[in-house]
Each structure stands twice: as structure tokens, then as C-alpha cells.
Amino acid sequence: MQKPIEEANQAALSHMYNAEPVLVDVAPASEVMPQLGEGMLLHAGPPVQWPAMCSPMQGAVAGALRYQGWAGTEEEAAALASSGSVTLQSAHDFSAVGPMTGIFSPSMPVFVVENRTLGNQAYCTINEGLGKVMRFGANDDSVIERLRWIEKTLAPALREAVLRAGGVELRPIMAQALAMGDEMHQRNVAATSLFFRAIAPHLVRGSSQQASLSEVTDFLVGNDQFFLNLAMAAAKSAMDAAASINGSTLITAMSRNGTNFGIRIGALGNRWFTAPSLMPDGLYFPGFTSDDANPDMGDSAILETLGLGAFAMAGSPAVVGFVGAGTYRDALNYTQEMGEITLGHHPHLSIPNLDYQGVPSGIDLRKVVETGISPAINTGIAHKEAGAGQVGAGIARAPLECFHQALEALVNEMESR
Amino acid sequence: MAEKRDLLGGPPATINVGLEVFADTLQELGFPVVRVDWRPPAGGDHRLTDLLSRLERSGGPNRISDSEGPGT
């Protein structure tokens, strides 16, 4: 007979592995998250208020306030945010995840991903592309203008197409993209191409927005990381399905707000366990060094929580150089090392060059503490000052302190019953 | 007894557990060594190993409810 913790973990894994994420809509955030109303923004990572936010996240908040029309200038926006009259909440509490700064405002369109197995939904913003973007803390007029184009032109076209398609199943795209060399965190070129192939006919056929189609298709094919946000929403829908299961030691969320890193475990629901975010170890774009880098940031670690990103690095030789992981042997070592701290291998996300073994999937709190192996995360690196954007990419580690805290809390909880 | 004599009669077959320095020395002398990556549980932190033992003992509740549904 299995011990109760093992039973709980098997139940959690079953929900997680059997999730069938489907993109069912592209809608304004306030439409699908009605609690996200006037004067409220969501951000990446565990809860953090304005004074403790890192500079890029403050920059993104200021930009979002201007985008919403709640502030006219950056100075007004900063004054509004620092006055405490803007409610800032963790996106995770709204079943939402956003890359890097991860800011959501009510008017921003979001991908609506439904886990068809259990019916729960998860949300993610639309990837803005490269260059000056809000997710890296940029907030000038060009950033706001692009966000408005996404809202007024891209999102309506995608919405029509997704509804016309009757939804787009994401797990088959993710499985195929993994076999084509994406780890879906820092490399999404295959997944983006496959998604475009799935959505393109529905974009074109019967579109009421023929005039903007060339702009829309240019945007989609010009951004290799477009699928990142879809993969994140898919992963969130799977991890939420495994959350809040009594006795489970499964890690259900890992996330960073640029100041602190936070984790959640199945047995303790929505409670966060946090420690200061660590600095990523990576490669920097010309002209930048580690002195320019902000500590680890973003909700995108939900991908590693599922078993993608650094956990799947053995299936993505092309990403190894980009994140400065070393040789392919090192990539293989990352995947094997992450297998030491997971409860299993994902049955639907396999790595061809490991004889189709599934990615190591389902981080076990106990194994992390016992082995001292900290989850690795492939990540973009933001400049520590708002507005400068991305300065590199690399690999970050989750601080072990979060796991130690979670273990202590779990033991106290169980012994008090 | 025959096996014990054999142990000293030929070249050593070595499995090294943990500290790499022993394996390095043997390898420098030309002997094959199989390395086992072993570290003490929780890095030898007694507070953490105690917590892990207590978690194992407490086990968790006996009833797992699927009706709890997805969290946020």
C-alpha cells in the first residue's frame, strides 16, 4: 500500500500529465479576469509592492499605467504607483502568468487557454517581440504604441481566427516542437512555426480584417519567441490542475518578481515561500556584462515547473550556446540532473535523442531538499535599469531557501492535524 | 578465504563514493575507478534531515480528494 504522500503525488501527477491545454480565445484581460478592474495591475512572481519592486518592474508598471490612460507621463505614473492607490497583485492568483515583468492591465489582450481535461483556464499576455518591450521594463512611446497595436489589430484578428478554428490544441504542438529542438523557454522557433501553420488558414479565411493581415502575419513570423506565452499559459493550466491536493509535495509554481523568488507546493495551496532572486549565469549581448543584469525575473519558470526549459535542455542542442550552458554534454547533464529531483517523466513530452524518454517532470520538494539540487531555469536577462531591455540569456537556479521554508511549513501543518 | 586473498593478489577494482580526491589519486596511478556521485542527504544539515524524517513519519492525510479541483 502506498503512503499517503505518494498517493497524493500520484493524483497530482495524473492531473498534471493528463492536462490538455487548448487555446480557446484571445480576449481582453478584464473580460476573462473580471476582478482585474480599474486601478489594478498584475505582475510576475510572488506578491511585491511598488517600493520593493526592481527598476524594470517599476518601469513596466509605469508604462502600463500610461497605456491604460490612468497616467499621462512617466512621472505621473510613478507618483500614482508610489501613492499606493494602484492595487498590485500577483498574476498567479488570477490563474495568469506573464514573462519577465509579467504586467497585466485590464485592456491588455490575453491568450485564454483551457485545460479540456478539467475545464480550468489559464491566461498569458501576447508576446511583444524583441527590442524595447514592456516585459523587460521599457515604457517609452514606441512600447505603448506597440501594445495598442496588439490590442486593436493583432488580438482581434487572432481572436477571430481562434474562434473560427474551434480552438487550437497546444499539447500536440508542444510535443512536436520538443522533437524539433525547442525547449520552449529560450527557444520557440519550431513551436511558433507550427502554431503559425495551424492558425494561418483561419486568419485568412473569412477575415473581417483583410487590410491588417499582412501586418499581423509579418508580426507572427518575425518573432521566434511568439509561442513562449502560449507555452506558459499551457503549463499554468496543467500546474493549476495539480494544485491544492492534500499531502502532495509537488512543486506547483516557481516564479520570480525580480526581487524575490517564490514557490508553491501542492499541499499548501496558494501560499508562497520566498527568498531573494539569484543572478542568472549567462551570456551577455555585446556591450553588456553581469554588472548590468537584474536578478532573475518572470513567471516563465512555470515551464520548468512542468518539465520544459532547462529540464528539457537535452532535447534542444541549439539553445545550449544561447544560454551559455557549455557543450551538448552539459545540456544532457542538466536534464539528467533535473531527473534527480522530479517524481516522473512526462508521458506526452518526450526527447527523441534520449530514446523518447519523457522530460523530467514534477519537482518533488523532498527530493530538492534531500539532494540539495536546485531547479535550473533557462531565462532571459533584463537590464537592472528600466528601459534598457534585454541584455543576455542564461541559466538561473531557484534559491534552496524557498524549499527549506516550504518543508518546515509542511511538516508543521501535517503534525498539527 | 580465497576471495580475501584474491583481493590483495591482483590490481584493485575500486568504486569511489563521494569525495573525488581518492578517485583522482588512484586514477593518477593508473588504476581504473568507478565514481559514484554521492552527497550526504540535505548536505548533512541535521535540521533538514530531521524535517524530512518527520515528514515521512507524519505521512499526510489518508484521504485524497479529487473534488478539490484545480487551484489558482
Grid cell 501613492 in the structure block, residue: A83
Q: Which of A411, A412, A417 to mutate to test the interface with B (most CBs of B within 10 A)?
A: A411
Closest Cα in chain B to A411: B55
How far does B9 lie from chain A, in Å, by closest CA?
38
pLDDT at A45 over 50: yes
What confidence score (pLDDT) does residue A355 get?
A: 96
Kind of pairing between the strands at A273-276 and A297-298 = unpaired
Mean pLDDT, range A319-340, rounded to an integer: 91
Interface contact flag, A410 B66, Cβ < 8 Å: no
Set of chain A residues whose Cβ sits within 8 Å of the Cβ of B68: 244-246
How far does B39 lie from chain A, in Å, by closest CA?
7
Q: C-alpha grid cell for residue A193?
A: 512555426
The closest CB to that of B61, out of A244, A269, A417, belongs to A417
The closest CB to that of B69, out of A4, A118, A366, belongs to A118
Measured CA angle at A118 (ends A112, A122), to 5 deg: 25
The closest CB to that of B60, out of A15, A252, A414, belongs to A414
What confidence score (pLDDT) does residue B66 get?
A: 40
pLDDT at A20 over 60: yes
DSSP element (H, E) containing B35? strand B33-36
Domain boundaries for CATH 3.90.1700.10 within chain A = 242-415
- Quote the CA–CA distance of A333 and A285 in Å, as a whole number: 25
For all residues of chain B together, what is the average pLDDT?
Answer: 79
Q: C-alpha grid cell for residue A235?
A: 503549463
Residues 6+ apart with CB under 8 A from A307: A338, A342, A345, A346, A349, A358, A359, A360, A361, A362
Q: Does A340 touch chain B (CB under 8 A)?
A: no
Set of chain A residues whose Cβ sits within 8 Å of the Cβ of B59: 3-5, 247, 414
The CATH code of the domain at A21-231 is 3.90.1710.10
CA A244 to centroid of chain Cα atoms: 20
- Quote the CA–CA distance of A337 and A363 in Å, as a whole number: 12
Mean pLDDT, range A355-383, rounded to an integer: 97
What confidence score (pLDDT) does residue B65 get?
A: 41
SS (H, E, C) chain A: CCCHHHHHHHHHHHHHHCCCEEEEEEEEHHHHCCCCCCCEEEECCCCCCHHHCCHHHHHHHHHHHHHHCCCCCHHHHHHHHHCCCCEEEEHHHHCECCCCCCCECCCCEEEEEEECCCCCEEEEECCCCCCCCHHHCCCCHHHHHHHHHHHHHHHHHHHHHHHHHCCEECHHHHHHHHHCCCCCCCCCHHHHHHHHHHHHHHHHCCCCCHHHHHHHHHHHHCCCCCCHHHHHHHHHHHHHHCCCCCCCCEEEEEEEECCEEEEEEHHHCCCCEEEECCCCEEEECCCCCHHHECCCEEHHHHHHHHCCHHHHHHHCHHHHHHCCCCCHHHHHHHHHHHCCCEEEEEEEEEEHHHCCEEEEEEEEHHHHHHHCCCCEEEEEEEECCCCCCEEEEEEEECCHHHHHHHHHHHHHHHHCC
Residue (of A130, A284, A279, A156) closest to A208 by Cα position? A156
CATH number for domain A242-415, candidates 3.20.20.70, 3.90.230.10, 3.90.1700.10, 3.40.50.2000: 3.90.1700.10
Collect all residues from B whose CB is shorter than 8 A from any CB in A. Answer: 39, 41-43, 48, 51-52, 54-56, 58-66, 68-72
- Quote the CA–CA distance of A397 and A161 in Å, as a whole number: 38
Q: Confirm if A284 and A291 have CB atoms less than 8 A apart.
A: no
Q: Does A369 touch chain B (CB under 8 A)?
A: yes
At residue B58, the 3 state secondary structure works out as helix
Set of chain A residues whose Cβ sits within 8 Å of the Cβ of B52: 366, 369-370, 407
Interface contact flag, B59 A3, Cβ < 8 Å: yes
Looking at chain A, the whole-number percentage of residues with pLDDT higher than 70 is: 99
The closest CB to that of A370, out of B41, B54, B60, belongs to B41
pLDDT at A26 over 80: yes
Residue A262, φ and ψ in degrees, nearest 5: -130, 150
Interface contact flag, A120 B69, Cβ < 8 Å: yes
Q: Which of B52, B55, B56 to mutate to test the interface with A (most CBs of A within 10 A)?
A: B55
The closest CB to that of B58, out of A93, A369, A415, belongs to A415
What confidence score (pLDDT) does residue B63 get?
A: 35
Q: How many CB atoms lie within 10 A of CB A139?
A: 28
- Quote the CA–CA distance of A336 and A12 in Å, as a whole number: 22
Interface contact flag, A244 B51, Cβ < 8 Å: no
Residue type, A107: S
For all residues of chain A together, what is the average pLDDT?
Answer: 95
pLDDT at A42 over 70: yes
Set of chain A residues whose Cβ sits within 8 Å of the Cβ of B61: 4, 246-247, 417
How far does B13 lie from chain A, in Å, by closest CA?
26
What confidence score (pLDDT) does residue B1 get?
A: 53
Q: Does A350 touch chain B (CB under 8 A)?
A: no
CA B64 to centroid of chain Cα atoms: 31
**Confidence tier at A2 by pLDDT (50, 70, 90):** low
What confidence score (pLDDT) does residue A417 get?
A: 79
The residues spanned by each domain of chain B are: 2-58
Domain boundaries for CATH 3.90.1710.10 within chain A = 21-231
pLDDT at A375 over 90: yes
**Confidence tier at A131 by pLDDT (50, 70, 90):** confident
Q: Does A15 touch chain B (CB under 8 A)?
A: yes
What confidence score (pLDDT) does residue B41 get?
A: 93
**Confidence tier at A300 by pLDDT (50, 70, 90):** very high
Q: What is the pLDDT of residues B43-72, one digit of tens each?
A: 999 999 999 999 999 875 443 344 444 554
CB within 8 Å of chain B, chain A residues 35-94:
92-94
What confidence score (pLDDT) does residue A1 get?
A: 47
Q: What is the pLDDT of residues A66-111, one digit of tens each?
A: 999 999 999 999 999 999 999 999 999 999 999 999 999 999 999 9
Residues 6+ apart with CB under 8 A from A411: B51, B54, B55, B58
Interface contact flag, B72 A4, Cβ < 8 Å: no
- Quote the CA–CA distance of A323 and B5 in Å, as a whole number: 54
Residues 6+ apart with CB under 8 A from A293: A279, A280, A282, A284, A381, A382, A383, A384, A391, A392
Mean pLDDT, range B30-41, rounded to an integer: 89
CB crowding A290-313: b at 16 or more within 10 Å, else e: eebbbbbbbbbbbbbbbbbbbbbb
Can you name the residues that pair with A257 across neighbouring β-strands?
A: A297
Q: Does A11 touch chain B (CB under 8 A)?
A: yes
Q: C-alpha grid cell for residue A315?
A: 532535447
Range of lowest pLDDT (A202-216, A256-270, B57-71): B57-71
DSSP element (H, E) containing B2? helix B2-9
Q: Confirm if A21 and A238 have CB atoms less than 8 A apart.
A: yes
Closest Cα in chain A to B56: A5
